[in-house]
Copies of this chain bind each other. A is one copy, B any other.
């Protein structure tokens, strides 16, 4: 069967986006949102397919959010390919209705006192021990942040202290602009998914949060926009992540429930392949608190550098 080739409406303006959503809702239509930073791959498409199943209309947002990058991180090199993204979305059977692609979500027209800079202007001025993202560095005058104070601390939160604050904040903004009924996130970003779920509960958003399973390439590597920066050699070595996670899961299912031993074997495998471990933790699936022995559903989360690329991956172990 031929794919639909439905051309999405491209909306760049917040007010126009909200107006579209409210018009559709007034006609009784339900709306699904898939927030992305673009450079779409099959993992994103699986989120879109999930939204298509659950709601009448689907909005994909494409926005590289400066609020979740530290000045030392890879905002300026984050890959993008808007036209490629649109054609990928047009190939999805059923198609998406809107691509929301704002130029700058933090450009507040009334705030004329501040200097305004673009994404590229994130300078490396971190200091004073404060939590500062590229957004503050750009001097836009944005100062409201949503924080999920416990869940944001561990795992990726340790090495990326501005990350989840930025994610929770931009997701709040997108929720308030798009006003969806359902929003779909990938479980590849496991901690992010749990944080958004908790935020939605705690702030009483009337939005159902869906987490979809990790999509992997044939060799097992979890799909990520950042994989494009891996050399062939790095990519081959990075397979140690998914392989060792699978091994740990299998060991656990065979009764090896000591987390220290399971972690050690994964750390060893990834390190021997040349990966630099950021963290490798076995945590409760809801609280994300580390456990010593697996006696209830856990998730084994890992982050490791291969060359200049930081990769994350995880596997749920449901004992």
Contact = CB atoms under 8 A, between A and B. Distances in A.
B146 A151 contact: no
Nearest to A150: B143
B198 A143 contact: yes
A204 B173 CA distance: 5
Contacts of A26: 26
B144 A198 contact: yes
Contacts of A305: none
Nearest to A207: B176
Contacts of A206: 18, 176
Interface string A152-181: 000000000000000011001100110000
Contact of A199 (B18, B110, B144): B144
Tell me if A's interface is mostly helix, strand, loop or mixed.
mixed
A3 interface: no
A74 B283 CA distance: 39
A146 B149 contact: no
A59 to B, nearest CB: 15
A205 interface: yes
Interface in A108-166: 108, 110-111, 142-151
A103 B169 CA distance: 28
B148 A201 contact: no
A14 interface: yes
Nearest to A147: B145
Nearest to A109: B201
Interface string A193-207: 000001101111110
A169 B204 contact: no
Interface in A34-59: none
A305 B112 CA distance: 38
A144 B143 contact: no
B143 A173 contact: no
A199 B146 CA distance: 10
A151 B146 CA distance: 15
Given A144-B168, A168-B144, A198-B143, A204 B14 contact: yes
Nearest to A26: B26
Interface of A: 14, 18, 26, 105-106, 108, 110-111, 142-151, 168-169, 172-173, 176-177, 198-199, 201-206
Given A143-B151, A144-B199, A173-B204, 7 more contacts: A108-B201, A143-B149, A143-B150, A143-B202, A144-B146, A172-B203, A173-B203
